[in-house]
């Protein structure tokens, strides 16, 4: 069977599975809609968290960035995995013990302020919309190639699928759908990685194949280090970014991970605080399977791409180039008229335009793997994008329905009215997300990096200080969030949208790129929060007692007494 037929079969079966689960687990109450009733097992929650976390950026874009950036791409690996350690140790158990549905709910109650809650709602919506734009872009890319439709059409199809199971099932439907999506995406990622590792290095374990030798006895990484400088690129294992920028991007991704509202809310779905810790542990293991394989997938993709395109005759282009050319994500322009593809760093000479986001999806085709494997990767990419999109849309809908309407604007509404409001908000969010998916502000991983920067600059400081500082008050939290968010949005907007021509290291603040500026925003948030809270009244006594109760395990006083 051809790729299109296989894709319709495999993608159709997985979509039927997701919709079936959504119908089976549809939410009948606000608690089921917001936190799946609070009865999800740690193992299932760990898988759902991994799927929620491993978005289109992880599945589609990260290995693509590593393919082209080499060593510099490691910031995504270090930042996104390191952030989970912060999340597991510093946030998850305490927030679960606090027992609120959403991050704005925590902020509103901890900082005893409707204004703080509203600022947190705005932050959550900003972060979630930025993040979900990358997911819808990933959905469009997959559909455009494998179902041979326009990217815009692909985004609309993805919107309809997400809308169905997110609006119907809420967190309950999303959780069990994400368990299935994790199984699909990890199988889809590892099968081609294992095949290609065997073909290139003879080792079935991709993580070991990365350091293996090719058929001519040359180490894979040494081969790439030799090929890329000849084409004008930096050696694959050398970094070109300033050390300070690498540090700031990694830090922004780490603390952004710990501050992402759609990940944090997952720890409210388990029965006990202990289960929140277990969930984080399981999630880290499930995530590590893909993340440790990503550098190998990136290196395999770059090597195979160079072997099949660089200096090859245009008249005899490989089939994978012809297939992807139809999507507009790869293009060939014979500038010197010699009939061969010149792939070099110099844009005036380079004749091959290739979108970084296609590398993982094109990898099986480049390696000439069976058609069913190619279709499987398409299903995995969709699973990764849709699982995260659903989680983000739920954050947006709960922020609007629960935190804005129920807790601030219309406290008298019934549970049924709140549930209807959440579903209407989710529908609106899907439409806006679809627009950004069709008109994205950058590559999938770049867009997601901005979301992490916004989360780092807005949520992380006030959650950390809200848990560990009894002196932190509402004035400090409000001004800290506003300062961090406004600074980070302004910096990103200037270099990415207002004056993109100036987006060069020499123009950046201390050589810190827009992807890493969230760390500076976070520091500003901490500083402003600390100073303002010291010059304004301390929190009420009952808030300080509440913080003490969150931090200290129940029964600790009795244990000390005995």
Stronger pLDDT, 268 or 417, i.e. the higher one: 417
- Please report the sign of the dihedral spanned by the C-alpha atoms of residue 35, residue 39, residue 40, residue 42: positive
Residues 261 and 26: beta-carbon distance below 8 Å:
no
Say whether pLDDT at 258 is over 80.
no
Whether residue 269 is predicted with pLDDT greater than 80 in this model: the reply is no
Split at pLDDT 50, 70, 90, the class of 193 is very high
Q: Please state the domain extents for the chain.
A: 3-300+354-448
Q: Is 3-300+354-448 assigned to CATH 1.10.10.10?
A: no
From 121, 479, 58, 456, select the one nearest 288 (Cα to Cα): 58
Q: How far is 453 from 396, CA to CA, in rounded Å?
A: 18
Position 443 pLDDT exceeds 60: no
Could you tell me the pLDDT band of residue 301, with boundaries at 50, 70 and 90? very high
pLDDT tens readout for residues 507-556: 999 999 998 999 999 999 999 999 999 999 999 999 998 888 887 755 44
Quickly state the pLDDT bin for 562 (edges 50, 70, 90).
Answer: very low
Predicted pLDDT of residue 260: 72
- Which position has the higher pLDDT, 329 or 490? 490
Section 466-472 average pLDDT = 92
User: Would you state the pLDDT for residue 314?
Assistant: 87
Say what the pLDDT of residue 154 is.
83
The most confident of the ranges 119-123, 480-484, 500-504, 545-549 is: 480-484
State both tokens at 141. Answer: 């890319």
**Mean pLDDT, the chain, integer:** 85
pLDDT at 33 over 70: no
* Mean pLDDT, range 338-354, rounded to an integer: 91
Q: Average pLDDT in the 139-162 region?
A: 81
Confidence of residue 383 (pLDDT cuts 50, 70, 90): confident
Residues in Cβ contact with 452 at an 8 Å cutoff, skipping those fewer than 6 apart: 79, 252, 253, 256, 257, 260, 518
Reported pTM = 0.84
Report the C-alpha gap between 340 and 334 in whole angstroms: 7
> How high is the pLDDT of residue 535?
94
Q: What is the pLDDT of residue 236?
A: 93
Are 212 and 413 a contacting pair, CB within 8 Å?
A: no
State the DSSP string of 85-132. HHIIIIIHHHHHHHT-SSHHHHHHHHTT-HHHHHHHHHHHHHHHHHHH
Q: What sign does the CA torsion over 258, 259, 262, 267 have? A: positive
Q: Highest-confidence range of 172-181, 392-401, 481-490, by mean pLDDT?
A: 481-490
**What average pLDDT does the segment 308-322 reach?**
88
The answer, yes or no, to whether residue 426 has pLDDT greater than 90, is no
pLDDT digits (tens, 9 = 90+) for 48-69: 888 887 877 788 888 888 999 9
Tokens of 393: 């849309």
pLDDT higher than threshold 90 for residue 491: yes
Predicted confidence at residue 555, as pLDDT, reads 47
Give the number of other Cβ atoms within 10 Å of residue 6's Cβ. Answer: 20
pLDDT for 428? 84
């Amino acid at each position: 069977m051809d790729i299109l037929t296989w894709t319709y079969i495999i993608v159709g079966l997985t979509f039927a599975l997701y919709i079936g689960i959504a119908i089976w687990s549809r939410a009948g109450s606000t608690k089921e809609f917001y936190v799946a009733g609070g009865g999800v097992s740690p193992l299932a929650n760990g898988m759902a968290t991994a799927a929620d976390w491993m978005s289109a950026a992880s599945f589609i874009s990260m290995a693509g960035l590593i393919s082209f950036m080499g060593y510099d791409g490691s910031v995504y690996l270090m930042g996104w995995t390191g952030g989970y350690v912060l999340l597991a140790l510093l946030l998850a158990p305490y927030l679960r013990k606090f027992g609120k549905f959403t991050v704005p709910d925590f902020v509103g109650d901890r900082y005893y302020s409707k204004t703080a809650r509203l600022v947190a709602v705005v932050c959550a919506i900003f972060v979630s919309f930025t993040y979900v734009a990358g997911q819808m872009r990933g959905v469009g890319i997959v559909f455009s190639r494998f179902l041979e439709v326009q990217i815009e059409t692909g985004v609309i199809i993805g919107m309809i699928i997400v809308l169905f199971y997110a609006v119907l099932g809420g967190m309950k439907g999303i959780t069990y759908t994400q368990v299935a999506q994790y199984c699909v995406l990890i199988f889809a990622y590892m099968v081609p990685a294992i095949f290609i590792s065997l073909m290139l290095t003879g080792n079935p374990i991709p993580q070991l194949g990365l350091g293996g030798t090719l058929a001519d006895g040359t180490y894979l990484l040494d081969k790439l280090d030799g090929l890329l400088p000849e084409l004008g690129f930096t050696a694959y294992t050398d970094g070109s970014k300033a050390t300070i920028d690498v540090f700031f991007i990694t830090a922004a991704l780490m603390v952004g991970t710990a501050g992402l509202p759609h990940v944090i809310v997952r720890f409210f779905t388990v029965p006990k605080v202990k289960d929140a810790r277990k969930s984080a542990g399981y999630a880290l293991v499930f995530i590590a399977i893909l993340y440790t394989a990503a550098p190998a997938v990136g290196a395999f993709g770059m090597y195979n791409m160079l072997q099949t395109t660089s200096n090859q005759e245009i008249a005899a282009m490989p089939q994978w180039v012809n297939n992807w050319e139809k999507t507009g994500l790869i293009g060939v322009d014979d500038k010197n008229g010699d009939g061969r593809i010149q792939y070099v760093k110099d844009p005036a000479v380079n004749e091959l335009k290739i979108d970084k986001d296609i590398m993982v999806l094109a990898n099986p085709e480049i390696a000439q793997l069976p058609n069913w494997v190619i279709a499987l990767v398409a299903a995995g990419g969709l699973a990764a994008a849709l699982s995260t999109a659903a989680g983000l849309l739920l954050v947006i809908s709960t922020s609007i329905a629960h935190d804005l309407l129920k807790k601030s604007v219309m406290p008298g509404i019934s549970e049924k009215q709140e549930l209807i409001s959440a579903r209407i908000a989710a529908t609106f969010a899907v439409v806006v997300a679809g627009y950004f998916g069709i008109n994205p502000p950058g590559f999938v991983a770049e867009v997601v990096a901005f979301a992490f920067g916004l989360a780092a600059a807005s949520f992380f400081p006030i959650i950390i200080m809200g848990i560990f500082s009894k002196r932190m008050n509402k004035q400090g939290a409000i001004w800290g969030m506003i300062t961090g968010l406004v600074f980070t949005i302004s910096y990103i907007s200037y270099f990415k949208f207002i004056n993109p021509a100036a987006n060069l290291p020499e123009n950046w603040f201390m050589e810190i790129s827009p992807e890493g500026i969230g760390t500076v925003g976070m520091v500003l948030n901490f500083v402003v929060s600390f100073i303002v809270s010291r010059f304004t009244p301390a929190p009420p006594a009952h808030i300080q007692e509440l913080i003490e109760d969150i931090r200290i395990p129940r029964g600790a006083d009795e244990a000390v007494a005995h």
